[in-house]
Amino acid sequence: MALNLRQKQTECIIRMLNLNQPANPTGTANEEVYKILIYDKFCQNILSPLIHVKDLRKHGVTLYFLVDKDRKPVNDVPAVYFVQPNQSNIQRIVADASRSLYDNFYLNFSSSIPRPLLEDLASGTLSSDSIHKISKVHDQYLEFVTLEDNLFSLSQKSTYLQLNDPSAGDKEIEDIIERIVSGLFCVLATLAVVPIIRCSRGGPAEMVASALDQKLRDHLLSKNNLFSEGGSFASSFQRPILCIFDRNFELSAAIQHDFRYRPLVHDILGLKLNRLSVPGEKGGMKSYELDSSDPFWMANGSLEFPEVAVEIETQLNTYKKDVDEVNRRTGGNAGAEFDGTDLIGNTKHLMNAVNSLPELTERKQVIDKHTNIATVLLGQIKERSLDAYVKKENDMMDRGGIDRNELLAVLKGKGTKMDKLRFAITYVISSETINPADAEAVEAALIESEVDTSAYQYVKKIKSLTVSLASANSASRNNIVDWAEKLYGQSISAVTAGVKNLLSSDRQLALTRTVEALMEGKPNPEIDSYLVFDPRAPKSSSGSSSSHLKGPFKEAIVFMIGGGNYVDYGSLQDLAKHQQPVKNVIYGTTEILTGMEFVEQLSQLGHKMGLGNPVATSSATH
């Protein structure tokens, strides 16, 4: 039985809505007990992709509010709170209890509540004589957003920027690492698995792996730990492997344009929490949900855009055929929309026709939705020549460079300022050596298009540093590292760890290739230097490669620090599907970013280092 994060997190939420009692055999909370749900913005984002408003009623929730909104008292009804454990939420809960807004308070925190806050809650409710209102306090370990069965995000903003900020102090870096570790711990607690952890040496990946290993060790010492119920999993299945990477391991995947449906929809239309809005045919905006309830999205998300257009056409024709068939059997008119009004004629087919009506209507809605999305995408592709960007960027990554005239033609052609900036950065990443004259010509072309070049300058600087590191002898290399670490804060050790990947030349992502090797668990020069942490093993053996790793692994959790995307995710899902036997790979990241959002973080880093031309940052997006 494969690990299914979406299912596990949904089960935890239903149990929480059932006042932390096991759910009914039907998988719903007790709807006889009416209750009110109070959440903060972060926890609303956790709930949103998993439980729809219409589902809340099934679980006995009649009203739901944001915690910071003014609310009126509701008598004789328990309130379920689902909030992050922070000072402002605790103050709000104490205020609500002291005003006796609700009958009983069931408090659920998205992660473990620190002791000082718990004491504040106790003293606040005691002094207002409302402590009897608090029925239960639970740590739910749910501080992550699951978007698909195998996709999650910690929703921690601008992590790449914060970790690579040259002015960041040790304390700030430690706080960020601690937040990431806390989020990952929640994911593992929800899955009830203790994985074997692998990561490359140096940089944020090792810091997170090492701190997570320690947190798991400390937790496993307690008798009633969160992983004891996972014992059945451990005994009947092999443990999963958790592979931790830093975004600098493979920058290109965060910046390049992609022509597959899922990454394209995310990058161009801004898919957020499985929802997006596009202009409707008759004006106005139409909102759509793209999740596991949409069979077309699940089946075709990894196809190239032209194949998706063909598939929409095929499904539309099949739908028309089926409607014609129903109409023919019931004596209706061929070619008519099936609206149920033509049901005369042969009575014995009437029941079949009536039964097939909801299914046909649903299919038509899905086809219309994707026709509308594809039409909007096609408009953007033509307007911005996105197909040319994708082809040229892939050629650059394959060949390790591009002809100067081709390069400048793209930069002076169609596309937004951000498209051109992303193309220029991909050129820097893909080229093994950068001709100074070419680099200047690129910069001049960007400035001519009024593009803020700070992100381009930043990546070029990192790249030149990486190349000098690769060619330097060990003595001078140490000097460069010292100088670079002063200049770049955290980023350089991670960049140097990924030197081969900045120059990777094959189509499969370096991330996917590395995960495949780690899952095989065989000796392999690409991963032999990777660290191993096993929180269940004696401390002495952790951190070094050890023979107790029994590969191959059937389950992997891949975590990207500093921002992930649907390109990484799609590539890993393809790997899992094409393995024999089929493997299961869960992909998670600190936050899911479009190419534009990631490049904006690079721009800010460039500005912090005084790089780039002084064009207003916001103009880069137009």
pLDDT digits (tens, 9 = 90+) for 242-282: 999 999 999 999 999 999 999 999 999 999 999 999 987 77
Measuring CA to CA, which residue among 194, 193, 161 is closest to residue 176? 161
Task: State the amino acid at position 284 in one-letter form.
Answer: G
pLDDT band at 29 (very low <50, low <70, confident <90, very high): low
For the beta carbon of residue 437, count every other beta carbon within 10 angstroms. 9
Higher pLDDT, 2 or 555: 555
Could you tell me which residue, 222 or 488, shows the higher pLDDT?
222
Task: Report the chain's mean pLDDT, rounded to a whole number.
Answer: 84
Q: Do residues 515 and 585 make contact, with C-beta atoms less than 8 angstroms apart?
A: yes
pLDDT at 337: 59
pLDDT tens figures, 542-560: 555 454 466 789 999 999 9
Above 60 in pLDDT, residue 80? yes
Q: Which of 86-95, 110-119, 321-330, 565-574 has the lowest mean pLDDT?
A: 321-330
pLDDT band of 222, cuts 50, 70, 90: confident
Lookup result for tokens 């909370």: 29
Q: What percent of the chain has pLDDT over 70?
A: 83
- Per the model's pLDDT, the better-predicted residue between 44 and 488 turns out to be 44
Determine the 3-state secondary structure of 561 from DSSP: strand
Compute the average pLDDT of residues 534-538: 87
pTM over 0.95: no
With bands split at pLDDT 50, 70 and 90, how would you rate the model's confidence at 234?
very low
Higher pLDDT: 22 or 461? It is: 461
Q: Are 606 and 612 in contact (CB under 8 A)?
A: yes
Phi, psi dihedrals of residue 338, rounded to the nearest 5°: -85, 100
Structure tokens that stand for 38 in this block:
């109070």
Residue 476 confidence (pLDDT) above 50: no
Name which of 15-24, 169-178, 469-478 the model is least confident about: 469-478
pLDDT for 144 beyond 90 = yes
In this model, does residue 416 exceed pLDDT 70?
A: yes
